[in-house]
Copies of this chain bind each other. A is one copy, B any other.
């Protein structure tokens, strides 16, 4: 594995999950692996869980992690080829990336979409530019369209909680939110569900909220949440803004909030969310405070997912 940008960088999802579970049992077993190696965590957007879990994963592997938060006003990067840089951008990616590649053995990057222009966001300009110019492995800490460390965590969490021989029914359901959010988590979860292939995968969302079909190929898609929830074993709750008429909030129908009552429709489903969650908007207190909730487990598992990814890359250096 050179980079970790999407599920396509992973040879075998189950092997990667297995490795993450191994680290959960033995956090410090590979502490020699990262000796005298450095990992840079570059945040173009803020982060709590992702920063901490990746930093801890790196440290468990004996690497030195250096975090740098880029205030966009302070260090606006230019991406346009041939730009005459007389404006607000202060450094071109062609100059910035190679240097970071000299300073670090692995470079992790978070760069959210602007949600202004679909083509720009879905071209994954930032990740691609770093891959092109940095000359070291690039790990996505959430990009414009995907969040693979979250998705690996999610598969891990599902596997930990499913012990039957049959495939679990996993439902990704849209939920209301007060802000226009990226499609990253939903895209990425769909992509990983597809690639993993060991679940019956259903997506429920209001009509206008169809995701990019590239990611949802294996999913049964419905606009009826109740229908989707029938016999579900896992319900992943997540808001996203519109994809087709890009980055908008159309309806924000509060009836899409997951409640205890709706959960009755399921097969005593476990409930997942990547956090942070708007309580009583996306998900009700009664669920989050119950045993059905896996959200804390997911957040904890972020460490082991990151550790599996970093150690896999470290072994190739």
**Contact residues of A with B, CB < 8 Å?**
27-28, 36, 38, 40, 46, 48-49, 51-53, 55-56, 59, 64, 66, 68, 71, 74-75, 78, 82-86, 90-92, 94-96, 98-100, 102-103, 178, 275-281, 285, 288-289, 295-296, 299-300, 303
Contacts and interface: CB of A to CB of B under 8 A. Distances in A.
Given A74-B46, A102-B299, A299-B99, A86 B52 contact: no
A66 to B, nearest CB: 6
B102 A280 contact: no
A294 B33 CA distance: 33
B75 A66 contact: no
Given A51-B68, A52-B66, 12 more contacts: A27-B36, A46-B75, A56-B103, A83-B279, A83-B280, A84-B280, A85-B279, A90-B278, A91-B276, A95-B296, A98-B299, A102-B299
Main secondary structure of the interface of A (DSSP, over half): mixed
Nearest to A53: B103
Contact of A281 (B27, B59, B86, B281): B86
Contacts of A100: 52
Contacts of A40: 52
Contact of A300 (B68, B71, B102, B280): B102
Contacts of A289: 94
Nearest to A74: B46
Given A55-B66, A66-B52, A86 B275 contact: no
B75 A48 contact: yes
Contacts of A299: 98-99, 102
Contact of A94 (B27, B96, B288): B288
Contacts of A64: 59
A103 B275 contact: no
A82 B275 contact: no
A86 B28 contact: no
Contact of A275 (B36, B99, B277): B99
B278 A86 contact: yes
A94 to B, nearest CB: 7
Given A46-B71, A95-B295, A300-B102, A85 B281 contact: yes
Among A46, A64, A82, A296: residue with most chain B CB under 10 A: A296
A49 B99 contact: yes
A36 B28 contact: yes
5 contacts: A52-B66, A56-B66, A95-B295, A98-B296, A102-B300
